[in-house]
């Protein structure tokens, strides 16, 4: 293969098409003329809307740093292995809207080693600059899709939702909004063209990874989730570059004698490995260990606390949230060995059947342990 041909192939992402499929009960290839059944295993799978649940939650009066910490803590105690979360600024609430996509058991079991992309994430990219209500004829049936105030809305054509007009009315979209239909034989090409044009370095923003299947969590115990995700994204982003580099190196080394060829190959592999290790090490060092904070949050959540805000500094942590019994949460958290003192910050208030409270925790300083 000529170098120019390889470079053009990488730019067009034609190599990626061999590893990509659409899933609705079975795997389908993305052809230019529609979908075709394919039983071959794939690495990147676009998942039908029928196989995941999409939900939205608003987090008011919270900073981006606090939101990320809270979402990480929620993931740590969640039993879901494949989940995609994205967040958007909500200026009215001075916080964020968080979209969570959870895949069903069938997808997780059958595609546990795959990168999963919800089809509505690609539709959001396809209609990014268009204000339309669409009817998409998918392998899973007719799917209605649109965006309302920045939030995606989608449902299959069934029951009372029998027309695109009823769908528009149910979500409060103006009746004169442009409507568009994508036919089944066009949809496969729409998905592929949208994926092809999407930056590979940002694929982690629209895709879910089952890290428990692909990484040894016992060996990585105590490491933060984000560095692992960053390392995974780094590998994906640089994979195409290394394919090109190794192919070029192979052709150059053919002109040398066997002994020189072997030495240069070893040096190239060592250099590439060194660069990779340095990059990943820097990512991991950038995030400190959070054992104490994780243990505190885990204990609070285990006692029934719904944490709304988690903040802290060197030797003090503040938790804000709801629980059926605020005193029980305070009592159990105060028993942790890293807690020197635990007390309520202000009065405990009733919110429905639950207590709303703010709890301040003073940590044991290192020279006191």
Q: Are 31 and 131 in the same domain?
A: yes
A 10 A CB-CB count for 11 gives: 9
- Is there a domain that residue 7 lies in? no
Q: 220 pLDDT band (50/70/90 cuts)? A: very low
Tell which of 285, 317, 337 closes a domain: 285
Report the half-sphere exposure of 267 (CA within 13 A, side-chain side).
Answer: 8
pLDDT at 231: 62
Q: Is pLDDT above 80 for 153?
A: yes
Q: 219 pLDDT band (50/70/90 cuts)? A: very low
Q: 178 pLDDT band (50/70/90 cuts)? A: very high
Name the domain count of the chain. 3
Computed over every residue of the chain, the mean pLDDT equals: 82
- Is there a domain that residue 87 lies in? yes
- Is there a domain that residue 135 lies in? yes
Tell which of 241, 256, 285 closes a domain: 285
Positive or negative, the Cα torsion across 258, 264, 267, 272? negative
Report the CATH number at residue 343: 3.30.1360.100
Report the C-alpha gap between 62 and 300 in whole angstroms. Answer: 19
- Is there a domain that residue 199 lies in? yes
Q: Are 75 and 58 in the same domain?
A: yes
- Is there a domain that residue 41 lies in? yes
Q: Are 85 and 50 in the same domain?
A: yes
Q: Are 53 and 126 in the same domain?
A: yes
Give the structural domain span for 264.
225-285
A 10 A CB-CB count for 93 gives: 13
Q: Are 280 and 298 in the same domain?
A: no
- Is there a domain that residue 338 lies in? yes
Q: Are 75 and 119 in the same domain?
A: yes
The strand order across the sheet containing 151-156 reads 151-156, 141-148, 132-138, 178-182
Q: Are 58 and 97 in the same domain?
A: yes
- Does the model's pTM come out above 0.75? no
Q: Are 255 and 295 in the same domain?
A: no
Q: Are 55 and 199 in the same domain?
A: yes
Tell which of 250, 269, 285 closes a domain: 285
The DSSP result for 220-288, as a single string, is TTT--HHHHHHHHHHHHHHHHHHHHHHHHHHHHHTTS-HHHHHHHHHHHHHHHHHHHHHHHHHHHHTS-
Q: Are 296 and 233 in the same domain?
A: no
For tokens 């299959």, the residue is 156
pLDDT 10s digits, 33-51:
899 998 788 889 999 999 9
Name which of 73-82, 261-270, 285-294 the model is least confident about: 285-294
pLDDT 10s digits, 350-369:
988 899 999 999 998 865 44
């Amino acid at each position: 293969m000529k170098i120019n041909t390889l470079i053009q192939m990488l730019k067009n992402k034609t190599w990626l098409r061999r590893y990509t499929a659409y899933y609705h009960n079975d795997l389908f290839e993305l052809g230019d003329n529609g979908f075709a059944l394919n039983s071959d295993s794939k690495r990147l799978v676009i998942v039908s809307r029928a196989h995941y649940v999409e939900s939205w939650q608003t987090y008011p009066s919270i900073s981006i740093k606090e939101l990320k910490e809270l979402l990480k803590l929620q993931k740590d105690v969640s039993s879901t292995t494949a989940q995609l979360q994205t967040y958007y600024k909500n200026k009215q609430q001075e916080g964020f809207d968080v979209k969570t996509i959870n895949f069903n058991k069938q997808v997780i079991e059958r595609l546990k080693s795959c990168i999963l992309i919800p089809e509505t994430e690609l539709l959001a990219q396809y209609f990014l600059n268009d204000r339309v209500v669409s009817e998409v004829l998918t392998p899973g049936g007719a799917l209605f899709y649109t965006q309302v105030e920045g939030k995606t809305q989608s449902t299959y054509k069934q029951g009372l939702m029998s027309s695109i007009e009823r769908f528009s009315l149910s979500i409060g979209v103006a009746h004169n909004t442009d409507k568009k239909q994508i036919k089944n034989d066009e949809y496969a090409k729409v998905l592929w063209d949208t994926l092809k044009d999407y930056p590979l370095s940002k694929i982690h923003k629209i895709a879910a990874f089952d890290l428990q299947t692909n990484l040894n969590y016992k060996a990585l115990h105590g490491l933060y989730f984000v560095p692992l995700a960053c390392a995974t994204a780094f590998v994906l982003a640089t994979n195409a570059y290394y394919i090109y580099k190794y192919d070029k190196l192979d052709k150059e080394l053919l002109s040398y004698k066997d002994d020189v060829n072997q030495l240069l190959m070893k040096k190239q592999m060592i250099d590439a490995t060194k660069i990779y290790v340095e990059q990943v090490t820097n990512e991991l060092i950038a995030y400190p260990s959070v054992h104490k904070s994780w243990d505190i949050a885990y204990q609070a959540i285990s006692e029934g606390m719904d944490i709304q805000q988690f903040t802290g500094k060197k030797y003090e942590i503040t938790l804000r949230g709801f629980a059926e019994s605020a005193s029980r949460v305070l009592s159990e958290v105060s028993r942790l060995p890293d807690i020197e003192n635990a007390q309520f910050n202000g009065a405990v208030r009733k919110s429905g059947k639950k207590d709303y409270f703010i709890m301040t925790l003073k940590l044991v300083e290192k020279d006191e342990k």
